[in-house]
Amino acid sequence: MLKSRIHAAEKLVGTFLKTGHYSLIEVLGRSGLDFVILDTEHSPFTHADVDRCILAAKAVNLPILVRLVEGDAARILQVLDMGADGIVIPQVKTMAQAQAIVRATEYGANGRGFAGTNRAGGYGTIPIERLVKIAKETVVVLQIEDSEGVQNIDDIVSTSGVDACFVGRADLSVAMEVFDVNHPAVVEATQRVLDACNAGNVVSMVFASDMTHAADWFVKGVTLVAVGSEHQALLSYFSDSRIADIK
């Protein structure tokens, strides 16, 4: 299970998928990636696109997370009922937000509504008690992307049920109006989040543009890295310089 691997502090590499087509999931399932993130926050995924991509991920045994636009309980319910292994929620700023997001992933009073006749429930073949236990394996990743989130990071990581905090360095650079992920203010904020995660036994996560940068983060103690996207992979593979080299 992805959740147990995260908590075992394994070095895990995933990528973002920004094109809503199941065939790309099938291709990625034949790669060495540990997980994939459907980016419904910044890409035009329909409800049906998400459903088909999750189905494809199940078929190739590729753990799949869905990045939502916000931590809306109804949307969390929908993607988990489709069978997603977890969620990535942007712009988390407070402990109250974190608690509400976790609650939306769990069955019970004021939490996730129960239904056992969907993909997550094996279309009615998984006993209720077993399904409730399976739901506890949902991966919850919260993105820290502005000064308020950084300021409240100690409270956020102390929230039971949070598996990882994803430092959005690009968003931080914009929020701080420095527009550079390597600016000292962004570096300091990033380290603040990483230190809080380490102290709170929550895994830290970052985005890396390529595998070399991913390796650099692993050296720094980060164990969960999302590397690029299929867009970046295509642009890199068919770059002007690579084409020029063969002409």
**H/E/C letters for each residue in the chain?**
CHHHHHHCCCCEEEEEECCCCHHHHHHHCCCCCCEEEEECCCCCCCHHHHHHHHHHHHHCCCCEEEECCCCCHHHHHHHHHCCCCEEEECCCCCHHHHHHHHHHHCECCCCECCCCCCCCCHHHCCCHHHHHHHHCCCEEEEEECCHHHHHCHHHHHCCCCCCEEEECHHHHHHHCCCCCCCCHHHHHHHHHHHHHHHHCCCEEEEEECCHHHHHHHHHCCCCEEEEEEHHHHHHHHCCHHHHHHHC
The domains of the chain are located at 2-142+206-246
Tens digit of pLDDT for each residue in 174-212?
999 999 999 999 999 999 999 999 999 999 999 999 999
What does the pLDDT average to over 47-56? 98
Burial environment of residue 145 by CB neighbours within 10 A (0 to 12, 13 to 18, 19 or more): buried
What is the chain's mean pLDDT, rounded? 97
> What pTM, to 2 d.p., does this model score?
0.97
CATH fold group of domain 2-142+206-246: TIM Barrel (3.20.20)
Amino acid (1-letter code) at residue 110:
N
What does the pLDDT average to over 41-57? 98
pLDDT confidence band for 90 (50 / 70 / 90) = very high
CA dist 157 and 198 (Å) reads: 9
Task: State yes or no: pLDDT of 109 exceeds 90.
Answer: no
What does the pLDDT average to over 9-27? 97
pLDDT confidence band for 227 (50 / 70 / 90) = very high
What does the pLDDT average to over 37-63? 98
